[in-house]
């Protein structure tokens, strides 16, 4: 199992991820079922953890229906991550309040950032201490 951070740039995309449990993706990685993805979005305060999910599958662009394939081609995305479980962090937890404050990657450079098992455990502890989790439906 591997873990990564993915950054959501637009508020509209953030809402879409939580309502569909799907993330259009451009980051080149070997995405596997069971991998954990932490979602970061810029809030009023700063870049913040807004959710995390467990991957069900990654569907490559060429395997998508025509409408979704066209979107991927226009945006230069590789495919779609489909989440088995997806949790919203409420309120969002600023990245600076987690172990991620010590990593050199900031802002857009967090996108696709790989996490160690220890970082994942530390992030989950910080989230549980500061916020509640609710599963996206």
Q: In this predicted model, what pLDDT tens digit does every residue of 37-67 receive, in sequence order? A: 999 998 887 889 999 999 999 999 999 999 9
User: If pLDDT is split at 50, 70 and 90, which confidence band does 106 have?
Assistant: low
Task: Tell me the CA distances in angstroms from 44 to 25, 32, 48, 101, 133, one per residue in order.
Answer: 24, 33, 9, 18, 20
Number of compact structural domains in the chain: 1
Q: Domain range spanning residue 80?
A: 3-135
Residue 29 gets which letter from DSSP?
S
User: If pLDDT is split at 50, 70 and 90, which confidence band does 21 have?
Assistant: very high
The CA-based angle 51-57-62, given to 5 degrees, is 120
Mean pLDDT (the chain) is: 89
Residue with tokens 């990564």: 4
Q: How far apart are CA 103 and CA 115, in angstroms?
A: 10
Query: In whole angstroms, what separates CA 17 from the centre of its chain?
Result: 9
Whether 102 shows a pLDDT value over 80: the answer reads: no
- Give me the mean pLDDT over the 83-107 stretch: 86
Single pTM value for the model: 0.89
Q: How far apart are CA 5 and CA 114, in angstroms?
A: 7
- Give me the mean pLDDT over the 62-87 stretch: 92
CATH code: domain of residue 34: 2.30.130.30
Q: How far apart are CA 91 and CA 109, in angstroms?
A: 23
Whether 107 shows a pLDDT value over 70: the answer reads: no
The CA-based angle 58-64-67, given to 5 degrees, is 135
């Amino acid at each position: 199992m591997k873990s990564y951070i993915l950054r959501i740039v637009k508020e509209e995309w953030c809402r879409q991820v939580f309502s569909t449990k799907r993330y259009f993706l451009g980051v080149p990685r070997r995405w596997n079922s069971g991998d954990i993805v932490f979602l970061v979005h810029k809030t009023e305060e700063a870049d913040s953890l807004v959710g995390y999910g467990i991957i069900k599958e990654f569907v490559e662009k060429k395997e998508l229906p025509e409408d979704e394939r066209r979107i991927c081609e226009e945006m230069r995305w590789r495919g779609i991550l489909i989440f088995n479980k997806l949790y919203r962090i409420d309120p969002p937890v600023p990245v600076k309040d987690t172990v991620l404050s010590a990593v050199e990657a900031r802002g857009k450079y967090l996108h696709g950032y790989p996490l160690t098992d220890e970082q994942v455990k530390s992030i989950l502890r910080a989230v549980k201490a500061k916020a509640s989790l609710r599963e996206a439906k």
